[in-house]
Amino acid sequence: MLQWIITGVVVLICVFFWFKKIMPKGYNVLCLKMAGFLKRLGILPHVQKRLERQSLLRGCGSCKSCDHDCH
């Protein structure tokens, strides 16, 4: 069971990594919605804050001098 949970989390992190690269704006919205969901449930406050911070990031993070207009 533990193997399944670790595997699932690792795969999800990779999916999020690519989602941010391919659709940075969609990623921001998703992070904001997930943070709101956690807030409503009142659980994982650290994850919630992290997601809120992520929702404010601009660009895919691949290049630092693109003025965030690469996508």
Q: Which is nearer to other proteins, 39 or 57 (CB)?
A: 57
Could you tell me the smallest distance in angstroms from the CB atom of residue 57 to other proteins?
16
Phi, psi of 51 (to 5 degrees): -65, -40
Near other proteins by CB under 8 A: residue from 17, 29, 37, 44: 17
DSSP helix/strand/coil, 62: coil
* Residues 25, 60: Cα–Cα separation, whole Å: 9
Report residue 64 as tokens.
Answer: 């630092």
Interface ranges with other proteins (CB under 8 A):
3-4, 6-7, 10-11, 13-15, 17-18, 21-22, 62-63, 65-66, 69-71
